[in-house]
A and B are shown apart, each in its own frame.
Chain A
Amino acid sequence: MFSWFGKVNFTPHTKVDEFAEHLRQGRLMGSRCTKCGQQSFPPRADCPACLHDEFEWVEWDGKGKLLTYTRIDAAPTGFQDMGPYVIGLVELEQGGRLVAWFGESIPEDKIAMDMPVQVVPRVFEEIEEIKVYYTLEQPGTSWHRAPRG
């Protein structure tokens, strides 16, 4: 199911493939090592601190700070229909970082270095197959989270 993650996915197989299912249900998940407790985002099947191979899922609140960004005018194959688009690199309050597009709540002229952002899980609704991703939005933006089953 990890092949759901991203408009174009390059990694169909991974031990953290449930990440995509969680994202579809509105949850941004990281990992916690069951041996040493090290938390990681993006999630890792193998602990970066002790290399232990068992982990549990931990929900991240998606609050973060914008470290840097760029507007891509020259887009690569697979993304040319979307260009130009703005990519941001975010430091998450709970640890770790992610790369994402800006959502509608932050137009390009409102982007500022070090601004607070909220990472929001998304589903590409215009695409028939399941495709999930996340966007950077204004703090306080809410979204639907399915109850955890």
Chain B
Amino acid sequence: MSRVGIVAVGHGRFGRRSDASVQELACEAFRAALQDGGLERKDIDGTVIAAVPEYHKQRSLTGVILEYLGLNPLAGWLTEDACASGSAAIRTAWMAIRSGLHQVVAVIGCQKMTELTTPEILALMGRVGEVQWESIFGTTFPGYYAMLARRHMHEYGTTKEQLAAVAVKNHYYGARNPHAMFRKEITIDKALGSPPVASPFQVFDCCANADGAAVVILAEEERARALGGDRVVWLDGLGAATTTMSLLRRPTLVSLPSAVEAARQAYQMAGVGPGDIKVADVHDCFTIAEILAYEDLGFCERGQGGRFIEERQSYLGGKTPVNVDGGLKAKGHPIGTTGVSMTCEIVKQLRGEAGERQVEGADVGLSHNVGGNGQYCFVHVYKKE
């Protein structure tokens, strides 16, 4: 069976982008991807749009994006899986290519969130929890992860300082990423002194709602080699799984079962294990989420995620560098775009184009993109020849 390769990536600036509409954001990333791959629009024969539609005033986003980018009459459709929409779209593109229906597919992640107020966004996101039995008590997204964090702290002795250490690392790398929303380093004291959000979380435990776009162009093996030459990064392992919508029926509160299962599938398909991963982008929507990811992906033993960050094992030079682009925490989290942004970063790393954030000798990479508070998870494993 032929492989699917990534031939181009493009990333726009994330942040509170009151200077641009959603289609203009998409165009920034699309233009960058065409330039990156030396491609033209006529090289593409299909599109998948990744966005969470309820944040936009524009309904049916696909139409306006394809028109603005000048991609009609190419086929296009929207893929939505909450905060994992971006990786769901990449998986969809992979399937479209392997089915033989398409040869070169552009995945366009685009999201404009900040037209809404923070309480409106909190209400929308809280309803990614189960609305019949949970949201009626005013649950919020930070609140869900906060409850997971509290249980992890109780069972494994994970500390607030260890949570804050995740934020410190991700801001350290965000300060070195020109696309990031927050380009300032922080200290543990600053994180621990920030205002409360949902105990035990404070402001610096939480990523920020953001606007922004990212584009990845994938191609069937032969086309990929012709278009990308030796810069192609192969998407060789894909895993996807779900767990319960509500915490009321969740089998565990100290792990995301969807992530464990998605990782198992992706490792098996790519023929690698956690020890082979040289660089990873994981879904750090909250500080605890990165600690859960270390454990769910097998980078460390269950319960040891707090120690893993404390020992700086996820920094450049550590056992497994994680989110050395700043993660959601410092880059910002335009929810439909995030998974596509992760793929952009891993592709840059495997090509050796990550500049001062480069992981030396990175030839196998991974992305871990979670939707909701664990309901959906996509894990991708990437290889460079």
Contacts and interface: CB of A to CB of B under 8 A. Distances in A.
> Do A and B share a complex?
yes
Interface of A: 5-11, 14, 42, 67-80, 82-85, 87, 89, 96-101, 113-114, 133
Contact of A67 (B131, B134, B136, B253): B253
B60 interface: no
Contacts of A67: 147, 151, 253
B123 A72 contact: no
A73 B133 contact: no
Interface residues of B, number: 36
Contact of A9 (B136, B146, B249): B136
A73 B196 contact: yes
A42 B143 contact: no
Interface of B: 118-120, 122-123, 126-127, 131-140, 142-143, 146-148, 150-151, 154, 195-201, 247-249, 253
A99 B119 contact: no
The 9 closest A-B pairs by CB, nearest first: A6-B136, A79-B138, A76-B123, A76-B122, A70-B146, A77-B123, A10-B131, A71-B199, A68-B147
Given A10-B127, A42-B132, A113-B150, A70 B143 contact: yes
Contacts of A85: 138
Nearest to B142: A74
22 contacts: A7-B136, A10-B127, A10-B132, A10-B136, A11-B132, A67-B151, A69-B147, A70-B199, A70-B200, A71-B198, A72-B140, A72-B198, A76-B122, A77-B122, A78-B138, A80-B119, A89-B247, A96-B248, A97-B249, A98-B133, A100-B137, A113-B151
A8 B140 contact: no
B247 A97 contact: yes
A73 B198 contact: yes
Listed residue (A76, A77, A78, A113) with the most chain B CB atoms within 10 angstroms of its CB: A76
Contacts of A14: 132
A113 B154 contact: yes
A97 B122 CA distance: 24
Contacts of B127: 10
Nearest to A8: B136
Contacts of B148: 68
Contacts of B126: 76
Contacts of B200: 70
Contacts of A6: 135-137
A148 B205 CA distance: 48
Nearest to B138: A79
B147 A82 contact: no
Listed residue (B126, B143, B154, B247) with the most chain A CB atoms within 10 angstroms of its CB: B143
A11 B150 contact: no
A77 B120 contact: yes
Contacts of A82: 138
Contact of A78 (B118, B123, B143): B123
Nearest to B197: A74
B117 to A, nearest CB: 8
A87 B118 CA distance: 20
B154 A68 contact: yes
